[in-house]
A and B are shown apart, each in its own frame.
Chain A
Amino acid sequence: MTSGTTVIATSDLAKHFGDVQAVAGVDFDVCDGELFGFLGPNGAGKTTTINMLTGLARPDAGVIRIAGIDCSRNPKAAQHLIGVVPDESNLYPELTGFENLSFCAALYGMRQAQREQRARELLGMFGLRDAAERKFAGYSKGMKRKLTIAAGIIHNPRILFLDEPTTGIDVAAARQIRQLIADLSGAGTTVFLTTHYIEEAQRLCSRIAFIVSGRIIRIGTVEQLMRQAEGRHVVEFAVAGGAAGLCAALAGAFSHLQCQALSEGAVRVDSAEPVRIGPVVRFLEDHGGEVAEARKVEPSLEDVFVRVTGIEASAMKREKEKAGASA
């Protein structure tokens, strides 16, 4: 659905907070109609980047252009074109769902009849019609997230920024939200999405940037990124008696293997050469593990992410889920 026109362009964008270099010179372009993903762990600089692009934070350096408008000096210049869904719901707890949407529409200058119609339409689309007259404070987490997304698109923005839209909500609600994002993108909205779910980025995004410690490590379409996995060999071992603790030892003993613990009882190894299963199984068993199964699997985007960033995807997910549960 992309037309090739660049609608978001940054160059050398940087931002620090005290000693922390939150964003350290990022460059990327997003084309009209594209669904672009920013994938990275906690503290990578995803939210800071969105804040700079949307006018909530001032960059220390760099250039931002939104739909051709230079927003580096005047962050308000392009705000009429964008919708923002923050990582935490920021609607008014004392207003009902309907009132919240109507109010947000008014902020973009929509007239009363138009805003009420649009609010009703979105409440229906997000399955919140029955909760329309209930106060936002009493919504469940998933409902809050949906209404926050609805508020972000109330004025039919040309560009939508979504900061971790599916973190901390249940599987069914997350699936629904992913479908809504895909539909929005299908209808021509440019979407800038941050996430720490690799599968989510892979499934939804046309292009992905891996961001770690404020830097973009890799950027490309899913196919381009997956090409880095070509010729790689991946084997998963199911280990009774716990495997997570053996990962480091395994990597130490077999320097050509990249190891990551998928769960307490599963290890995934990735190598440029075919993996000789025998020595690995013997090593695991000698160190107290009992290997129940070993199978070759197709390399995934997750393997690419782990290899280029050195970050264990499962650790990233666990950390996030903890943060989501405590939020």
Chain B
Amino acid sequence: MKRWIAVWNILAKDMRSYYLKPPNISWGLLFPLAWTGMFFIKSGAELDGVRGLLPGLVSVSVLFGTTSMLAVTVTFEKKGRSFERLLLAPIPLELLMLAKTSGAMLFGVANAFVPILMAAFLTDLSGVVWSAVVPAIVLIAVASTFLGLFIAVSASEVFEAQTLSNFFRFPMIFLGGLFFPVQHLPAVLRPLSYALPLTYGADVLHAGFCARGQMPLGLNLLVLTAFCAGLFVLSLRNIRRKWIR
């Protein structure tokens, strides 16, 4: 019980201090809105194409929403030393980091629904397999949050964390099969695609939104879960090694 009081308050504090702040809300909304608007306009009157864009737009919204927040909630607090307070609290490090990252996951999931809601006004979303889409969104949010955590722990300055995030984010947009299938990539780049978590999440979204998945649903979700676990374990190891040294 005591631990859950701590966990809940860490999340609630981050929500109040970071996620529910007007700049972040507007940024979190504006960014997916701008992307979505831009793509929808480009795809023109062909509203059927809107659904085909959703996997990419949803993934990008989640990816940017989550990774950019960790640079603040973790790197910034580490630099300002308030993170030490958390490390001194009698909570296992695993639980502490889950508390510290759950805000970003929720923020990512919320961001995912911005393009979906927009699309709902423009096109008919019936036939979407929500039982695949929702778990995929949640897992993409968890995986990108832990990727953000991994980056945040590796950096000592906020700008460094942000630069490092871009190093991972932009290749993922192009290599992850977000807007065009991985099969359209040059053969030399394809193995790289399969080393990225987003590839598997985007594939489930393609399956869920427009029945164009390439790999089995179960396999995708399994690999994505493995990425989540791997990135979390790696981040914890780095925290133990670098911050409790």
Contact = CB atoms under 8 A, between A and B. Distances in A.
A108 interface: yes
Interface in B91-110: 91-93
B163 interface: no
A207 B26 CA distance: 57
A80 B2 CA distance: 11
Contacts, number: 67
Task: Give the interface SS of chain B, mostly helix, strand, loop or mixed.
Answer: helix
Interface string B71-91: 000000000111011111111
A247 interface: no
A273 interface: no
B9 interface: yes
Nearest to A109: B2
Interface residues of B, number: 25
A111 B80 CA distance: 27
Contacts of B188: none
Nearest to B6: A107
A109 B13 contact: no
Given A54-B88, A76-B93, A95-B17, A108 B2 contact: yes
B88 A55 contact: yes
Contacts of A109: 1-3, 5-6, 90
Interface string A28-72: 000000000000000000000000001111100000000000000
Contact of B244 (A58, A82, A111): A58
B244 A55 contact: yes
Interface string A81-115: 01010101011111100000001101111110000
Nearest to A111: B5
- 7 tightest Cβ-Cβ pairs between the two chains A and B: A109-B2, A106-B9, A80-B90, A107-B89, A90-B81, A79-B90, A109-B5
Interface of A: 54-58, 75-76, 79-80, 82, 84, 86, 88, 90-95, 103-104, 106-111, 151
21 contacts: A55-B87, A56-B84, A56-B88, A57-B244, A58-B244, A58-B245, A76-B90, A86-B81, A88-B81, A90-B80, A90-B85, A91-B82, A92-B13, A95-B17, A104-B85, A106-B9, A107-B6, A107-B86, A109-B1, A109-B3, A151-B85
